Chains A and B, each alone.
Chain A
Amino acid sequence: EAAVTQSPRNKVAVTGGKVTLSCNQTNNHNNMYWYRQDTGHGLRLIHYSYGAGSTEKGDIPDGYKASRPSQENFSLILELATPSQTSVYFCASGTGKGDTQYFGPGTRLLVL
């Protein structure tokens, strides 16, 4: 069973503050993804990575940075958080082309 963990699980931030969301996977998957989920929009891809040192922009990258320092870890960084970034953020990992994506438990972020 794929294991993807996220921290923190819940976060309250202030507008203009810096927020870092962390994701760890223990299954040696090459690919990792960050999504946000909002009512009516489903899952929207923010950034993804094909391996350590690589990051790629997804559909909605504005206002977000990503970092993949190792095979296991993938972070999402909000340098200047805004209330519009209030959402549930999911990290996922996968082995590659066509394979299943395994999702973490999610992080609920509230930006006041």
Chain B
Amino acid sequence: QQQVRQSPQSLTVWEGETAILNCSYEDSTFDYFPWYWQFPRESPALLIAIRPVSNKKEDGRFTIFFNKREKKLSLHITDSQPGDSATYFCAARMSNYNVLYFGSGTKLTVEP
């Protein structure tokens, strides 16, 4: 049973466009949603995170939109750059537990 689902599996955009990565989850007790990114041959690293008390979190060109009612969130990357090419993982943490459930990832390619 996959707790966190991501779509699409892969996405290609042109430099300067907005990339939209989607995520959905099953359990309404999840209370923390980080996004990690992973560059080829490197380890995952935290990019940005949101808690359900907010419906939006912004950090530069990266914005999380959160819809608690529909159990969905999305990561928007505006003015995409070739250096943003990476695999992006949505994750969720269950309240009172210190473990993260990761989605299967979206591989983003930004073409110059």
Contact = CB atoms under 8 A, between A and B. Distances in A.
A binds B: yes
Contacts, number: 45
A43 B44 contact: yes
B62 interface: no
A97 B98 contact: yes
Nearest to A31: B98
Contact of B99 (A41, A45, A103, A104): A45
Q: Is the interface of A mostly helix, strand, loop or mixed?
A: loop
Interface string B1-23: 00000100100000000000000
A1 to B, nearest CB: 11
Interface residues of B, number: 22
Interface in A8-33: 31, 33
A50 interface: yes
B45 to A, nearest CB: 7
B45 A103 contact: yes
Contacts of A106: 43
Nearest to A44: B102
A96 B43 contact: no
Contact of B43 (A40, A41, A44, A105): A105
